[in-house]
Amino acid sequence: MKKIILAAIIAISLTATAFAGTTNDKVSTTFKKAWPAASITSWKVNGMITTISFTVDNLNMQAFYDEEGNFMGTSRPVQLTELPAAAQTTIKDKYQDYTATEAIEMNSTTAGFNYYVSLEKDTQKLILQVAQDGSVKTFKKLRK
């Protein structure tokens, strides 16, 4: 899941520089306004990006913020059955030799709404990007 979320972050064109981070008051304030009922499970700073993992309404989610506290997007794990029907058909037909290992829904302020699906076969791993219209394209190829 971490690799697919990292790939999704790359998809929204973020650049990070490494430094150890602590809770940012701007991010905390913005987050609490957006999700007052959320229960935070973890808080991570990676470069200029803060990732808050949380639960709200029985959903596990992540929210991403820049160092100024500006909201960048959210992600959450989804089932393959939640993908658009056209995408489900494409994945089933075109990637029948692969095993789906995870899927996330990513909604970013820069790249909009997309799904990312991780597929594995032998030593190969594919991350597919699925648009709302059901179109599917290879986002990234990796070796396991």
Contact 49, 65 (CB under 8 A): yes
Same fold, 2-72 and 80-143: yes
Q: What is the mean pLDDT of residues 113-141?
A: 96
Task: Tell me the average pLDDT of the chain.
Answer: 87
Show me where the domains of the chain are located: 2-72, 80-143
pLDDT for res 20: 39
- Would you call 76 helix, strand, or coil by DSSP? strand
Looking at domain 2-72, which CATH architecture does it have?
A: Roll (3.10)
The model's pTM is 0.78
Q: What percent of the chain has pLDDT over 90?
A: 78
pLDDT for res 144: 78
Q: What is the mean pLDDT of residues 85-109?
A: 96
pLDDT for res 2: 57
Looking at domain 80-143, which CATH architecture does it have?
A: Roll (3.10)
